[in-house]
Amino acid sequence: MSERNWQVYIAHHSKEEDLAEELAKHIREAGYEVVHRGTVMVGESFTEEVSKVLSTGGAVVLCGTSRALGTRWASQIVNAARQQTYGGQTRVFCLQMEEDADVGRLSFDECIALYWQNPAKAIEDLIAALKKHYPVNNTIAHSVYRLLQAPPLPISFVERPEYSNDLKTRLLTESSSDNRALVITAIHGLGSVGKSTLAAALAHDAEIQTCFCDGILWATLGQQPDVLSLLSGWVQALGDYNFKPTSAEAASAHLRTLLYDKAVLLVVDDAWNTKDAQAFNVGGARCQVLVTTREGAIADALKASIYSLDIMTATQAMELLTKNLGREISGKERQSAEKLAEGVGYLPLALELAAAQVTSGTTWTDLLRDIKQEIARLKSLDRPGAKDTTDEASLKRLSLTASLNLSIKRLSPEDKEYFTWLGVLPEDVSMALQYLLC
Ligand SMILES: Nc1ncnc2c1ncn2[C@@H]1O[C@H](COP(=O)(O)OP(=O)(O)OP(=O)(O)O)[C@@H](O)[C@H]1O
Ligand SMILES: [Mg+2]
């Protein structure tokens, strides 16, 4: 294998982020770019992440604790690694973290380092094995590592320059100004209109990354965030593994010290109340905060500059449908698709759901008819205010609810049961949409 900047994916249990980061530190020092994500837990999205690393020829380090091996993904990744061979290369390197963690059944020809016996020796063996199979070019590898916590963009991502250009300009110009106060920007809009996706697109922009050269931190709050745990995650992401805060206030104060002279973009996604969001205003003068929220009042209370995000344009909606279907939509079919896009109010999530249904055999016309009927049914429900729903925002909400209801109605009884179980997942678990809909 030639020298290059190899990627190494650390596969670990989502509750063992500390351990993974401890390993990551050593592997990075040896000159590798390390990817690991505590949020990746659900089968499909997890294997997608691993596949990305494997498809570029990278290696997987399995952080083999009993807890991690007790889940089915451990064998999934080993199988994924075996299926994607890269010049007959050893792909998976197992670390046995505890004496009773049975990594042997998964490792076959791969290196096993006995971390539980002697951590320092295990790391040394692991690095030696990695270097043997994946020689590194240290000058490239060190320059590639960057702290980027933003979620990946959807495969069917559609640019929305009418919003992203202004937001990008604001982030870049505020960074170059002499302003000493922490700048806060909020993306405000209806549920599922694309706020988080827009924030992620900004975080993945090369100029934004250059501007915030010390990294991009991301926390998805939701209605009941575990603020202490999210803040602790930021502390560790900034390289401090010794500080164990016992309160959110202590964590915020410590982050202020860590971020004092750093240029970091702090993304506070899906804020539902001002107090929670405020705990993340921990940047120094070179940092900025980007908040996404459905609640305009939160943006006001944070004294943020507000950017209101609305539905997609008809052209963007068609691009989203085309990308989701994975083929061109032309002629008569295009006209039906255009009507459907209008029928679901050009909302990105409703469009994704529609595309999934068309892929599974429903016709555009049937789908549009059913959506209209469902909207009418929802309007006529005997709920206060529902009958005379006329304002634009409520109509958009209705069209989204109708799209969701239809998608759920069409699930098989077995899939409906899986869907019900999804309700137990926390808000920021990433998961492929098609897993939900197929
Ligand atoms: N620009 C886009 N291109 C492709 N897909 C998009 C785009 N924007 C949003 N989507 C899709 O629409 C769905 C909803 O988007 P997103 O989660 O960003 O909405 P949101 O406004 O953050 O919603 P919420 O208020 O619930 O947090 C996602 O599945 C996402 O993949
Ligand atoms: Mg969101």
Find the DSSP H helices in 204-247. 206-211, 227-237
Q: 161: CA distance to ligand 2 center in Å?
A: 18
Domain count, the chain: 3
- Is residue 72 assigned to a domain? yes
For residue 285, give the amino acid letter.
A
Whether residues 196 and 216 fall in one domain: yes
Whether residues 257 and 118 fall in one domain: no
Q: What is the pLDDT of residue 417?
A: 66
Whether residues 33 and 134 fall in one domain: yes
Q: Which residues pair with 136 in a beta bridge?
A: 4
- Judge if the beta carbon of residue 38 lies within 6 A of ligand 1: no
Choose the final residue of a domain: 255, 273, 308: 308
Q: What is the pLDDT of residue 93?
A: 85
Whole-model pTM: value is 0.67
- Judge if the beta carbon of residue 193 lies within 6 A of ligand 1: yes
- Is residue 260 assigned to a domain? yes
Work out the average pLDDT over 160-181.
Answer: 89
Q: Which pair of tokens denotes residue 351?
A: 């469009």
* Minimal-distance CA residue to ligand 1 atom 8: 194
* Residue bearing the bigger pLDDT, 42 or 34: 34
Q: 20: CA distance to ligand 1 center in Å?
A: 29
* Minimal-distance CA residue to ligand 1 atom 16: 194
Whether residues 165 and 303 fall in one domain: yes
- Is residue 152 assigned to a domain? no
Judge whether residue 387 has pLDDT over 90: no
* Minimal-distance CA residue to ligand 1 atom 5: 157
- Is residue 151 assigned to a domain? no
Residue with tokens 């068609």: 318
Q: What is the pLDDT of residue 393?
A: 73
Contact (Cβ atoms closer than 8 angstroms) between residue 59 and residue 47: no
Whether residues 431 and 349 fall in one domain: yes
* Residue bearing the bigger pLDDT, 263 or 384: 263
Whether residues 303 and 372 fall in one domain: no
Distance CA 185, CA 380 (A): 39
* Minimal-distance CA residue to ligand 1 atom 4: 157
CATH number of the domain at 67, please: 3.40.50.10140
Indicate the average pLDDT of the chain. Answer: 82
Q: What is the pLDDT of residue 139?
A: 42
- Is residue 171 assigned to a domain? yes
Q: What is the pLDDT of residue 277?
A: 97
Choose the final residue of a domain: 250, 279, 308: 308
- Give all strands (DSSP E) within 157-257, no chain letters: 183-188, 215-222
- Is residue 374 assigned to a domain? yes
Q: Is residue 218 very low, low, confident or very high in pLDDT (cuts 50, 70, 90)?
A: very high
Whether residues 31 and 113 fall in one domain: yes
Judge whether residue 107 has pLDDT over 90: no
* Residue bearing the bigger pLDDT, 333 or 176: 333
Residue 196, domain extent? 161-308
Judge whether residue 433 has pLDDT over 60: no
Whether residues 139 and 182 fall in one domain: no
Could you tell me the end-to-end alpha-carbon distance of the chain, in angstroms, rounded to an integer? 39
Lowest mean pLDDT among 68-82, 116-130, 132-146, 167-181: 132-146
Residues 38-43: contacts with CB under 8 Å, at least 24 apart: 38/12, 38/14, 38/233, 39/14, 39/151, 39/428, 39/429, 39/430, 40/14, 40/430, 41/14, 41/73, 41/429, 42/425, 42/429, 42/430, 42/431, 42/435, 43/72, 43/73, 43/76, 43/435
Contact (Cβ atoms closer than 8 angstroms) between residue 275 and residue 300: no
Lowest mean pLDDT among 11-25, 112-126, 231-245, 370-384: 370-384
- Is residue 2 assigned to a domain? no
Q: pLDDT tens, 298-349? A: 999 999 999 999 999 999 999 999 999 999 999 999 999 999 999 888 999 8
- Judge if the beta carbon of residue 349 lies within 6 A of ligand 1: yes
Choose the final residue of a domain: 119, 144, 169: 144
Q: What is the pLDDT of residue 17?
A: 80
Judge whether residue 143 has pLDDT over 50: no
Whether residues 290 and 169 fall in one domain: yes
Residues 23-31: contacts with CB under 8 Å, at least 24 apart: 23/61, 23/63, 23/95, 23/123, 25/239, 25/241, 26/123, 26/126, 26/127, 27/61, 27/126, 27/127, 27/130, 28/145, 30/127, 30/130, 30/131, 30/136, 31/5, 31/136, 31/137, 31/138, 31/141, 31/142
Judge whether residue 9 has pLDDT over 60: yes
For a mutational test of ligand 1's pocket, the pick from 163, 164, 197, 270, i.e. the residue with the most ligand atoms closer than 8 A to its C-beta, is: 197
Q: pLDDT tens, 240-289? A: 888 989 999 999 999 999 999 999 999 999 999 999 999 999 999 999 99
Q: What is the pLDDT of residue 427?
A: 53
- Judge if the beta carbon of residue 270 lies within 6 A of ligand 1: yes
E strand or H helix that includes residue 163 = helix 161-176
Percent of the chain with pLDDT over 70: 80
Lowest mean pLDDT among 15-19, 72-76, 133-137, 418-422: 418-422
Q: Which pair of tokens denotes residue 197?
A: 């996706």
Distance CA 190, CA 188 (A): 7
Q: Which pair of tokens denotes residue 38?
A: 């505590």
Q: Which pair of tokens denotes residue 282?
A: 């921990």
Q: 114: CA distance to ligand 1 center in Å?
A: 43
- Is residue 416 assigned to a domain? yes
Q: 34: CA distance to ligand 1 center in Å?
A: 27
Lowest mean pLDDT among 42-46, 49-53, 239-243: 42-46
Contact (Cβ atoms closer than 8 angstroms) between residue 197 and residue 167: no
* Residue bearing the bigger pLDDT, 429 or 348: 348
